[in-house]
Structure 1
Amino acid sequence: MTDANAALYQFAHGRTGDKGDRSNISVIAYDARDYEHLVAHVTEDAVRALFSERRPGAVTRYLVPSLHAMNFVIDGVLDGGVNDALNLDTHGKALSFRLLQLQIPLPPRLAPATP
């Protein structure tokens, strides 16, 4: 086993939407072979920890295997929503870019061979 990590954006792309103080972030694998690996490492706990400074409420992950994707619904992460927040990005559009910076282990097909 190797300790090699890489940013999630190397294996997936993302889309973000929002409604009020709720953001949803989709993570879609570039390669279907990496989907199960992403499911194992891009978890609700990992997302909650990544956005901890925004003090998210509930973080719920929905899996969409037919699209090799997952969708995270994150409550309370937009400082009250577009009409209440003093944040520069009150719509939360940039949150997918933040999530795509998450460091995960290399998928098995890309991990260096062990001697």
Structure 2
Amino acid sequence: MKLVEIATARSGDKGDNCNVALFVRTPELYELIKREVTAERVKAHFTGIVKGEVERYEVPNVLALNFVLRNALGGGGTRSLALDSLGKTMGAALLRMEIPDA
């Protein structure tokens, strides 16, 4: 299944780094994304885009995972030659990631 079927995302940017948070509605879905959506899998999902490290933070009180994607925006909004290098697009891109069904 794709993450968009069970999660919502919020993302933003600061310079060349991007922040993406995934939110789910139930503790069971939170356990699923904790198990399946690792920093390594997120890095692989963004192969060719995220050049640096991916860090994952668990936020259980709001059933969320927060990812910091380093060196991910081609230098940032003011330096990149990409048409839309802002972090707001990365949340939608992560929701296309596929994980095994529960």
Structure 1 segment 21-60 matched on structure 2, within 5 A: 21-60=16-55
Displacement of 1:92 in angstroms is 2.1
- The CA deviation at 1:56 is 2.3
Q: State how many pairs are aligned.
A: 102
Deviations 1:66-98 (A, max 9, x none): 111010000000000011101111212111111
Q: Percent identity?
A: 37
CA contact (8 A) 1:59 1:75 kept: yes
Structure-2 separation of matches of 1:50 and 1:43: 11
Structure possessing the higher radius of gyration over alpha carbons: 1
TM-score (norm 1): 0.85
Which runs of 5 or more residues in structure 1 are unaligned?
1-5, 108-115
RMSD over aligned CA atoms reads 0.9
> Matches of 2:64 and 2:29 in 1, distance apart?
10
Question: Which has a greater percent of strand?
Answer: 1
Checking the alignment, whether the CA contact within 8 Å between 2:50 and 2:69 is kept in structure 1 is: no
The equivalent of 1:81 in structure 2 is: 76
Give unmatched runs, 5+ long, in structure 2: none
* SS of structure 1 residue aligned to 2:86: coil
